């Protein structure tokens, strides 16, 4: 794993920083770290302290967790633009899964400490990031709630187990398509 300059990446293209004025992007560049992970590297592990969020800039990152029988399962493979671990900016809950680089990957890392410092300063940049984060999370929760309610309603009416394709669609939405 190695870190390098943020300069070569266009931070304005990352949805988390949408609405941040171009002149303020330099402030973000000072706070984030860009890290290269060789294929097979663990970015964070289930149970680790959640101290940062990550954005995939290049490569693929798998999100994995153990099923009830203790077997590790890949829930999603995230690609460029995907965000992972974003709840770490808001809570101190431990990681609920493991993130592993499937290919050589480059990720942007924003720590909770740096983010909270921005907010405490009353920074417009910090508030814009918080706004983007809140909108993205609210949208995800609303979409998942609707899909889950439909699945439960269908199941209670017909007394059938939800179809595999419906569960796969929900899983994709939860772990793959959620980008903002």
Position 167 scores a pLDDT of: 67
* 100 closest CA partner among 120, 133, 72, 135: 72
Write the class of the CATH domain 2-175: mainly beta
- The strand pairing partners of 109, in sequence order, are 33, 54
Q: How far apart are CA 155 and CA 138, in angstroms?
A: 26
State what percent of residues in the chain have pLDDT above 70: 84
- Give residue-wise pLDDT tens across range 123-140: 899 999 999 999 888 887
The two structure tokens encoding residue 71: 């077997």
- Residue of higher predicted confidence among 176 and 112: 112
Position 141 scores a pLDDT of: 83
The predicted model scores a pTM of 0.80
On average, the pLDDT of the chain sits at 85
**Residue found under tokens 């772990």:** 175
Map residue 70 onto helix, strand or coil.
coil
Q: How far apart are CA 31 and CA 128, in angstroms?
A: 15
- Give residue-wise pLDDT tens across range 153-163: 776 665 555 55
Position 123 scores a pLDDT of: 86
């Amino acid at each position: 794993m190695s870190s390098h300059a943020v300069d070569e990446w266009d931070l304005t293209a990352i949805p988390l920083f949408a609405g941040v004025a171009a002149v303020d992007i330099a402030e973000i560049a000072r706070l984030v770290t860009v890290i290269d992970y060789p294929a097979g590297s663990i970015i964070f592990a289930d149970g680790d302290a959640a101290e940062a969020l990550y954005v995939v800039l290049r490569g693929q990152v798998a999100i994995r967790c153990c099923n009830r029988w203790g077997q590790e399962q890949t829930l999603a493979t995230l690609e460029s633009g995907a965000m992972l671990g974003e709840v770490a900016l808001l809570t101190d809950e431990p990681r609920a899964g493991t993130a592993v680089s499937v290919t050589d990957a480059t990720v942007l890392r924003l720590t909770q400490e740096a983010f909270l410092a921005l907010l405490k300063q009353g920074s417009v940049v910090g508030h814009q990031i918080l706004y983007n984060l809140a909108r993205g999370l609210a949208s995800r929760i609303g979409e998942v709630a609707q899909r889950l309610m439909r699945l439960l309603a269908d199941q209670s009416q017909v007394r059938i187990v939800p179809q595999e394709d419906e569960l796969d669609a929900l899983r994709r939405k939860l772990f793959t398509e959620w980008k903002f």
